[in-house]
Amino acid sequence: MWVYVQLPSLQLDRMLALQPELAKRALVLYCEQQQQVIQCNGIAANMGIHPNSSLSDAWLLAEDLAPYRYREAQQRHLLQHLAADLYQVFAVISLDPPNGLWLDLKPMQKLYPDIRQSQEQLQLQLAPWQVRYHYGLGNTPLVAKMLAQSGVAAVGDIPIQYLPCDAKLQGQLVRMGLNTLGALQAIPRALAGQRLGKELVNLLARIQGEQHESLHYFQPPLWFYQRLTLLAETSGWQALRFPLKRLLQELEHYLEGRQQETRYLLLTFYHRDIEPTKLEIGLAHGGYLASELAAFCQLKMESLKLPAAVLEMSIQAKRLQPRSKEHGDLLHGGQKQRKSLPRLLNELQLRLGYSRVFGVQNRHDWLPERAWQRSAAGSAIQATHIPGRPLWLLPAPKPVQIQQWCLLRGPERYQPPWWQLTAGEAPYFAVPNAMEGSVASQNLQCVGHRDYWVARNQRGQPGWLFYDYQQECWWLQGWFS
Amino acid sequence: MYSILWGVFMQANLQQLMDKGAVWRGGEWKNGGQNSGQHGASQFSAAEYASTGQPLLDQALGGGWRCQRVHELQCEYAFSGELSLLAPAIMAAASAARPVFWLAPPALPYAPAISGMLQQADVTNAENAQHIVLTPASEADTLWAAETILHSGQVGVLLLWADSLSTTAVRRLHLAAAETDAWVFVLTGIQNEEARSYATRLRILLTPDKTHAMAASVPRGQVQWQILKRHGGWPIRLPRQPLPRWPSLII
Amino acid sequence: MAYAELHCLSHYSFLRAASAPGELVARAAELGYHSIAITDECSFAGLVKAWQAAKALPANGSGTEHFHLICGSEFRCEKFGTFVLLVENRQGYAELGKFISQCRRAAEKGSYAFHANDLLKNKLANCALLWKPPETALNAEVDSLGVEENNLFALANDLKKHFIDRSWLMYQRYLQANDRLHMRSFRQLSEKIAWPVVATGGVLMHHSQRLPLLHVLQSIHSHEPVADLGDKLAPNAEASLRDLDSLQQIFPATWLAETVRVSARCGFNLSELRYEYPAEVVPEGFTANGYLQKLGQQGLRWRYPNSIPEKIRTQLDRELELVAELGYAHFFLTIHDVVVFARQQGILHQGRGSAANSVLCYCLGITAVNPAQSDLLFERFISRERNEPPDIDVDFEHERREEVIQYIYKKYGRHRAALAATVITYRLRSALRDVGKALGFPEAQLQQLLHRLDRRDSEEDWRQQLQSMGVMNHPQGAHLLALTTELLGFPRHLSQHVGGFVIAAGELSDLVPVENAAMPERTVIQWDKDDIEALCLLKVDVLALGMLTAIRKSFALLPEFYQQQYTLASIPLDDPEVYRMLQKADSVGVFQIESRAQMNMLPRLKPKCFYDLVIQIAIVRPGPIQGDMVHPYLRRRAGLEPVSYPSPDVESVLQRTLGVPIFQEQVIKLAMVAAGFTGGEADALRRAMASWRSKGKLMGFEEKLIQGMLARGYSQEFAERLFAQICGFGEYGFPESHSASFANLAYVSAWLKRHCPAAFYVGLLNSQPMGFYTVSQLVQDARRHQVEILPISINTSNWDHQLQKSDGEPAIRLGFRLIKGLAKKDIEALLARRPTSGFADMVEFEHYALASSLSGSAQEQLASANAFAELSGNRYQTRWDTTKLGEQLPLLAGAETQVGDYALAAPSELADMQEDYSTTGLTLGRHPLAILNDHDVLPKHRKASELASLRAGQLVTVIGLVTNRQRPGTASGVTFMTLEDESGTINVVLWQDLARRQRRQWMKARLLQVKGILEMEGDVIHIVAGDMQDLSGQLPIAQLKSRDFH
């Protein structure tokens, strides 16, 4: 006996649960490429909008439509999360992405002999999720699904649009007045095979349950979680290092078994009567050695004050990923504390602060201050072909007195991005068509561009200046060291 | 330990003696300076020297910048051509695919100029030249970072800007530098007291050119290098010469 | 210091430049340039517009009469950089035109094939060459340029031998980092290959403020938003026309001076182009005029067999004399030749446009409107002042027009005849979408803006609409409005004119380059019809008209079924029964007067004669409606308003339209008669009227018009009212000549509908898609006129609908063409083999189907369309019997499945109707409403036939299928809707606020219930909708579509 749970608007309902104020408007989730509605709420539905109607129709029918992008990955994640939740009650689950899943009731017979009890359990488990769903009961998965989707009572009445066969075949069946599953099942199987083809006959067999349905079953996702109660209340970091070490060793063992490394550790310290203290450690590059992870944890722990004595502590390692190859340089030799570059960078970022350790990279843009960008520490610099650039760039241009400088080379003229300026100050106004009226003949420079010059100051230092036509003043952009 | 105070009391004549490199300061020559005592007089092959790009200065420094050493460059104002002296060392690091660390720089190292420089000198495997900039919040963090970097052994060239390094800090840098095969440069302002033990101490003085005509072909600024301390030689002041040109700047 | 800009692109280099040719020329003159060259990429498309602008500007020391425009074109080659060819003289112009045509025709539409060596292979002796080597070469060391595979020196030497002293290196500077390097490379290269260097701008915009628009164009070109393009965008605005002082700072003086020396060599001016007519239309031993004279006299005798009215004879002589004087004989002979071909092939045709004003055209058989019938204006046809060839369009049957086009290509050859171009430009929606994408607006928001922008409102206030939608609080909102405004009207690509042919005596590419059109073996010239007019080239319009096809197909049926034979000209005129039919607005299917708005006008105007039809066609148009001439005319016609004329002159002009100007010709005549305009000035007014909205030139005439009328004693009030009416005419004023030609066809189709309805409907049904109504509505209208419609039958139907005698009266047998998804070739083989007596039963049909390899799906379609009704029971059963999807197991095939092995229930009446609609789009069974009423599923409501018996102002409820929705141009935003029930159609009027409030009900509904007030005006009955209910749920039919004209 199978139950199929159909969740027509899982993602939308979860969004509404988190932001109830949206509930009053016509809400749709649309797919970007096909410009089609995927899920819609009640208000949108009774305005005539339904799943896979076109977005332009939706705009037509609902003046104040609130469209949001449908996120494929999030839908998958939510379905898995829901299944994991149901897993605590129903042992055999099979996902049917994007918005359905099967529950096999047979193994549950012992626990809930009467089907109604299983249904109550299901409703109980789904209640906190606040999602719309309807479900169908059938002795084969396919029948259960079709009943859930079509919402009819008897199997015979299932309209053939819900049969999983290609639309052309469905069209032909309608043309012969065969509109329901019952009508199809009435035809002698051999004759149906001749007239309507083998595919339909196999489908009927699956529906009758004559063929075994191969579903792949759901396993909850894996991450490492371990909790430890301390022998005695401890309040100092030093004391906490030993239990931490033990937990990390178990983590190392877990990761070793799976040849994985983690990039996110969550330490939770539980106090007696106040909120537990949480400590998150993100790693730019994956780690798995207990000693290495201990060093990182210690760096972070030093900077965090413990509000009260700690009774228990737990560690959770997420974002597990297969081990990257860089770690092979242990045999580099040499003295104490040799470490790989990624590890060094991790350490530097943890201690100095993530934003204070970065690489520099070129960027394809004319304007000097946009021609570079921050990049991940340790990345290499790509080639560029612009000659004559200063080694040093001031974080922000400094105004200068042009009298103290003597211009050597230039100008290089660049136009700052007009689309970032609001229309008011944009160096831009609609030029009257020269054909008609006479354009004011005075020599209108393209307001707002900059002329860059290499120049030397009184002390002889070569610098890089630019004159801004909008502000009509000179600025120092950088130095040729 | 060189203890005589320098700077303010120096008489003019001593200054001239200094110019001619005639004054000998004890203990400097023979055993290569106390700081590398533990190793004994290890021979240094040419590979350990990085040129300064200026033959006179190379010769004065006995071949250029020695690796595994900490060198101090003092400038009156930042950006007076000091980096052009370190360009060969930076490029050597690039071709050896060893990272270059910019620790607390006075401004932002500009990526297009760096890659332009690498391209122009067509450095081999320039494509994986790594440049990492660190902007620590405090001088203590800067020191900690410098030591951690040196201890990691993952460094080709370490450029460190700091104005008030203590003697102990410098000594720790020396110890760390000695264990790597990196070049370490400390760039500061003009320092008066000489207590700290650097392998070399070079002071860069910019003298403005007399005429400040706006003519296009005005002579470049004048620079004078004063080597206050060098391995195996007297402090010496080199004659003025035109400001060196950073490789990628074509004037 | 003099400077000539030698390398400049207009927006006719699609998506590469941001200014119009006219703007570039005007700005160059304003900056005091010596001259300017327009050098679009492998194209002359912008030259004529640039030449027109230059003609209006004084020369700047170039020694020419006007501002000097140099003609040229740019060619780009990946390996060797950019080349510009400048025309030195008329011979050079032909050479370059030929060269462009070759490059264009060697590649498909929109692109060209060019390699540097082509410059050596082709004769370009009278062109100057400018060359800018590729960027990679300029950045490298000069001596490395001799390297083997792209050997620049070798190419330079070869080109030098070919162009001798007419080749230059083209140096361009945009103030960039490598300027000095490039300057050095140019100097060294110039020395090495001994080519002089000339400074050029590589101009892409006339003014630096156009930079944002240029960036948008570059973004559209590379399909990436502007913000992501980084250094692919133009770095600054230096690629614009720069003032002389800046140029002096940027370029060495010698290279600037060189520009003037190059410009001096290029003296060619477009006005030197002379058009010659094709000679072969004049037979041996005749002069053009002599032959035309002979044809004219022959035509006179043919058109007026018994007596030739004196007025017509003198008119013909006057026309012939003027044609001879202006040398247009060849023009008429060329068109006459095409018309003769059409008559020989039996292709129905009719001339329209200014030609319909002439007796000569009527005699030559070009037009079918008898000049005696309507008072035509000869000046409009040809006038001495205008001195440009007349504009004659000839309509042909739309299914056989291609034969006429291929005849012209065959007769004159592809190198001498080609279609004129139409420049597809940015309209509001396309501009808004592309600019929006470039500025990074999210797709969904753009979609929303475009959707809620009501197309009906005129283009001016789209900006207010957008602002009211809150576009301004988006950071790019202001840029979106400003840049969209600027992008409007920019060319996007060249497409082919609907039928305008240009035919040349010699090589067409000597006049204008020719390139491939989108359609196979069609060629297009690079100029549009305005360019052709500006240079007085001959254009022959070969247009398609569906109604001609329908009329010809109806004429073919007359002998057999109505024992009569007619041609367009021989239909009996002014038959009162035809006019009585039209006065009752029974005009479904009649040419030009079948739309809802026309149907409303017919009972009020009550046309009684041919000229009334001419007025009826012209009056229901936005022009007269906005100039509010409709109501005064109707009141005067009904005698409710006195007809008064301020002067006998005005009376002579407006007498036939009761003093109300309706036709364009009348406005011109009034300007001449009342305001003293000459023929030429009057025509200039007509041209301005035709396009006043965009260029606003009409204002110049206001002063002249009003003063002229005041001087002749007309009241200020009359003058201003007349001027207001002229502005109202604007683009929509309909020329009487066009109206007369259309009226001719309208009368013929009305006559056929009245006297030979079966033939009329079959002609229409076999020419679909055409006209205003769906096949289903035409069939309904036919049945309401007691024409019997026989269903599709496998034994008697053919591909086309045909007439069949059915108890004495002609009935229409529907053809297989009606079945959706069935192609003619699928069934031809079967019909060829079908025995005359038809198939006895399904088994015999199966046998023939197998023999003619009729496809399985074709059989299924036939079954569902109930074509086998006579042979077997219900269509479900026949569908089952004809379906064999299972693999054909050899031994079981025959025995296993035979007819009737499994009985299927017959479809219900509703299901039958649904099958009819889904396979043929119509049903011959009972109307859906009738069936629904039987099941009395619908709430209480009135039928269409009962409305006439009710009181005006009564509250009524009606239900019907929505057959069409129409929002006419009137600004009031009213919407017309037609509901159809089993007894007829109901006209519903929907005001804007209700339309907006109950948008879902009327926008998507198929079956609609309307509660509203009944309005009656004579026979015209409307229901003004008060409330609407969508009952589509009751209706199981998805395929029932309506004809929506928004």
* Chain B residue whose CA is closest to A359: B132
Burial class (CB in 10 A: 0-12, 13-18, 19+), C429: middle
- Report the candidate in C93, C55, C71, C190 with the shortest Cα–Cα distance to residue C133: C190
Q: How far is A135 from chain C (nearest CA, A)?
A: 26
Average pLDDT, chain B: 72
Taking an 8 Å cut-off on Cβ atoms, the answer to whether A414 and C235 are in contact is yes
User: What local confidence, expressed as pLDDT, does residue C341 receive?
Assistant: 93
- Report the candidate in C407, C601, C423 with the shortest Cα–Cα distance to residue C497: C423
The larger pLDDT score, comparing residue C525 to residue C856, is at C525
Q: Rounded to an integer, what distance in angstroms lies between the CA atom of residue C760 and that of residue C753?
A: 5
Distances (CA, A) of C195 to B77, C130, C929: 51, 10, 85
User: What local confidence, expressed as pLDDT, does residue A208 receive?
Assistant: 83
Domain ranges for chain A, please list them: 2-208, 225-322, 390-479
For chain A, list the contacting chains (3+ Cβ pairs, <8 Å): B, C
Would you state the structure tokens that stand for residue A248, as one six-digit string?
Answer: 């990390």
List CB contacts (< 8 A) between A378 and chain B.
99, 130, 132
Taking an 8 Å cut-off on Cβ atoms, the answer to whether A172 and C879 are in contact is yes
Percent above pLDDT 90 for chain C = 33
Binding-face residues of C in 433-452 toward A, CB within 8 A = 439, 443-444, 447-448, 451-452
Q: Is the pLDDT of residue B217 over 50?
A: no
Q: What is the pLDDT of residues C170-182, one digit of tens each?
A: 999 999 988 888 9
The DSSP-derived string for C332-362 is HHHHHHHHHHHHHTT--EEEEEGGGG-HHHH
The larger pLDDT score, comparing residue C450 to residue B246, is at C450
Q: Which residue in B82, B115, B212 is closest to A481 by CB distance?
A: B82
- Report the candidate in B146, B124, B129 with the shortest Cα–Cα distance to residue B94: B129
Q: What is the architecture, at CATH level 2, of domain C424-494?
A: Orthogonal Bundle (1.10)
Q: How far is A51 from chain C (nearest CA, A)?
A: 16
List CB contacts (< 8 A) between C178 and chain A.
387
Q: What is the pLDDT of residues C479-488, one digit of tens each?
A: 999 999 999 9
Q: How far is C819 from chain A (nearest CA, A)?
A: 15
Q: Rounded to an integer, what distance in angstroms lies between the CA atom of residue C398 and that of residue C348?
A: 10
Q: How far is A184 from chain C (nearest CA, A)?
A: 11
Taking an 8 Å cut-off on Cβ atoms, the answer to whether C452 and A57 are in contact is no
Where does the pLDDT of residue B221 fall: very low under 50, low under 70, confident under 90, or very high at 90 and above?
A: low
List CB contacts (< 8 A) between B115 and chain A.
362, 381-384
Asked if A386 reaches chain B (Cβ–Cβ under 8 Å), the answer is: yes
User: What local confidence, expressed as pLDDT, does residue B246 receive?
Assistant: 58
Q: What is the architecture, at CATH level 2, of domain A225-322?
A: 2-Layer Sandwich (3.30)
Asked if A333 reaches chain B (Cβ–Cβ under 8 Å), the answer is: no
Q: Is the pLDDT of residue B8 over 50?
A: no
Distances (CA, A) of C361 to C255, C279, C350, C404, C664: 59, 20, 11, 19, 21
Region C88-94 average pLDDT? 94
Q: How far is A130 from chain C (nearest CA, A)?
A: 28
Asked if A302 reaches chain C (Cβ–Cβ under 8 Å), the answer is: no
List CB contacts (< 8 A) between C23 and chain A.
433-435
Taking an 8 Å cut-off on Cβ atoms, the answer to whether A337 and B246 are in contact is no
The crossing angle, in degrees rounded to 10, of helices C610-619 and C736-755 is 110
* Chain A residue whose CA is closest to B81: A481
Percent above pLDDT 70 for chain C = 91
Would you state the structure tokens that stand for residue A477, as one six-digit string?
Answer: 């952009």
Q: Is the pLDDT of residue B27 over 60?
A: no
Q: Which residue in A61, A65, A415 is closest to C237 by CB distance?
A: A415
Where does the pLDDT of residue C924 fall: very low under 50, low under 70, confident under 90, or very high at 90 and above?
A: confident
Q: How far is A152 from chain C (nearest CA, A)?
A: 19
Asked if C244 reaches chain A (Cβ–Cβ under 8 Å), the answer is: no
Where does the pLDDT of residue C698 fall: very low under 50, low under 70, confident under 90, or very high at 90 and above?
A: low
List CB contacts (< 8 A) between C209 and chain A.
427-429, 431, 444, 446
Q: What is the pLDDT of residues B32-75, one digit of tens each?
A: 333 333 333 333 444 578 888 888 888 888 788 888 888 888 88
List CB contacts (< 8 A) between A65 and chain C.
448
Binding-face residues of B in 56-95 toward A, CB within 8 A = 77-84
Taking an 8 Å cut-off on Cβ atoms, the answer to whether B108 and A460 are in contact is no
CATH number listed for the domain at residues C928-1044: 2.40.50.140
Where does the pLDDT of residue C505 fall: very low under 50, low under 70, confident under 90, or very high at 90 and above?
A: confident
Q: Is the pLDDT of residue C786 over 80?
A: yes
Please confirm whether the linkage preceding C371 is cis (ω < 30° from 0): no
* Window from C457-471, C560-574, C943-957, C961-975 with minimum mean pLDDT: C961-975
Asked if C183 reaches chain A (Cβ–Cβ under 8 Å), the answer is: no
Where does the pLDDT of residue C127 fall: very low under 50, low under 70, confident under 90, or very high at 90 and above?
A: very high
Question: Which CATH number applies to C288-419+495-547: 3.20.20.70, 3.20.170.30, 3.30.450.40, 3.30.1900.20?
Answer: 3.30.1900.20
The larger pLDDT score, comparing residue C692 to residue B2, is at C692
Q: Which residue in A362, A394, A456 is closest to B115 by CB distance?
A: A362
List CB contacts (< 8 A) between B131 and chain A.
359-360, 381
The torsion of the CA quartet C792, C795, C799, C803, rounded to 10 degrees, works out to -70
Strands C789-790, C809-813: pairing is parallel
Q: Give the DSSP letter of residue B246.
A: P
Asked if A376 reaches chain B (Cβ–Cβ under 8 Å), the answer is: no
Taking an 8 Å cut-off on Cβ atoms, the answer to whether B133 and A394 are in contact is no
Region C301-309 average pLDDT? 85
Binding-face residues of A in 64-93 toward C, CB within 8 A = 65, 67, 69
Asked if A390 reaches chain C (Cβ–Cβ under 8 Å), the answer is: no
Would you state the structure tokens that stand for residue A399, as one six-digit string?
Answer: 């105004």
Q: Rounded to an integer, what distance in angstroms lies between the CA atom of residue C753 and that of residue A285?
A: 84
Q: What is the pLDDT of residues A413-422, one digit of tens each?
A: 998 888 876 5
Q: Which residue in C452, C486, C907 is closest to A177 by CB distance?
A: C907
User: What local confidence, expressed as pLDDT, does residue A197 receive?
Assistant: 82
List CB contacts (< 8 A) between B144 and chain A.
351
User: What local confidence, expressed as pLDDT, does residue C81 receive?
Assistant: 92
The crossing angle, in degrees rounded to 10, of helices C736-755 and C664-675 is 140
CA A48-A49-A51 angle, to 5 degrees, is 135
**pLDDT tens per residue, chain A (481 residues)?**
889 999 998 888 888 876 777 788 888 998 878 888 999 988 888 887 888 888 877 877 777 788 888 888 888 888 887 887 788 778 888 998 888 999 888 877 777 778 888 888 888 888 888 888 988 888 888 889 998 888 888 888 888 888 888 888 888 888 888 888 888 888 888 888 888 888 888 888 888 878 777 778 887 666 677 777 777 777 777 888 888 888 888 888 777 777 778 888 889 888 888 888 888 887 767 788 888 888 888 877 777 778 888 888 888 887 777 776 544 333 333 334 567 787 888 888 888 888 888 888 888 888 888 888 888 777 777 777 777 788 899 988 999 998 888 888 888 999 888 887 654 444 443 333 332 222 332 233 345 789 999 888 887 788 899 999 888 899 999 998 7
* Chain B residue whose CA is closest to A341: B154
Would you state the structure tokens that stand for residue C79, as one six-digit string?
Answer: 């390996």
Q: Rounded to an integer, what distance in angstroms lies between the CA atom of residue C348 and that of residue C350?
A: 7
Distances (CA, A) of A93 to A4, A164, C275: 10, 21, 84
Q: What is the pLDDT of residues B115-162, one digit of tens each?
A: 888 777 777 666 667 889 999 988 888 988 998 888 888 888 999 998
User: What local confidence, expressed as pLDDT, does residue C977 receive?
Assistant: 86
Q: Give the DSSP letter of residue B220.
A: P
- Report the candidate in C781, C780, C767 with the shortest Cα–Cα distance to residue C581: C781
Q: Which residue in B110, B144, B208 is closest to A391 by CB distance?
A: B110
User: What local confidence, expressed as pLDDT, does residue C459 receive?
Assistant: 47
User: What local confidence, expressed as pLDDT, does residue A442 receive?
Assistant: 29
Where does the pLDDT of residue C578 fall: very low under 50, low under 70, confident under 90, or very high at 90 and above?
A: very high
Where does the pLDDT of residue C897 fall: very low under 50, low under 70, confident under 90, or very high at 90 and above?
A: low
Cβ-Cβ pairs closer than 8 A, A with C, add up to 185
Asked if A311 reaches chain C (Cβ–Cβ under 8 Å), the answer is: no
CATH number listed for the domain at residues C4-206+241-272: 3.20.20.140
User: Which of A33, A35, A428 to probe the C interface (max C CBs under 10 A)?
Assistant: A428
Per the CB < 8 A criterion, the answer to whether B192 and B179 are in contact is: no
* Chain B residue whose CA is closest to A369: B110
Asked if A278 reaches chain C (Cβ–Cβ under 8 Å), the answer is: no
Q: How far is A26 from chain C (nearest CA, A)?
A: 14
Q: How far is A292 from chain B (nearest CA, A)?
A: 14
Note the pTM of the prediction, 2 decimals: 0.76
Residue C730 gets the label, from left (phi > 0), alpha (psi -120 to 50) or beta, of left
Q: How far is C80 from chain A (nearest CA, A)?
A: 21
Percent above pLDDT 90 for chain B = 5
Average pLDDT, chain C: 85
Q: Which CATH class is domain B49-242?
A: alpha beta
Q: How far is A304 from chain B (nearest CA, A)?
A: 18
Taking an 8 Å cut-off on Cβ atoms, the answer to whether B128 and A380 are in contact is yes
Q: Which residue in B120, B134, B251 is closest to A357 by CB distance?
A: B134
Asked if A65 reaches chain B (Cβ–Cβ under 8 Å), the answer is: no
Taking an 8 Å cut-off on Cβ atoms, the answer to whether A413 and C884 are in contact is no
Where does the pLDDT of residue C206 fall: very low under 50, low under 70, confident under 90, or very high at 90 and above?
A: very high
List CB contacts (< 8 A) between C437 and chain A.
none
Residue owning tokens 């109950």: C998
Domain ranges for chain C, please list them: 4-206+241-272, 288-419+495-547, 424-494, 565-744, 788-885+911-920, 928-1044
User: What local confidence, expressed as pLDDT, does residue A324 receive?
Assistant: 63
Quickly list H helices, chain B.
12-20, 55-60, 87-95, 111-120, 139-152, 167-178
Region C648-662 average pLDDT? 83
Kindly provide the residue ranges of all beta strands, DSSP E only, lying in A356-442, ordered along the sequence.
Answer: 357-362, 372-375, 392-399, 405-414
Taking an 8 Å cut-off on Cβ atoms, the answer to whether A47 and C1000 are in contact is yes
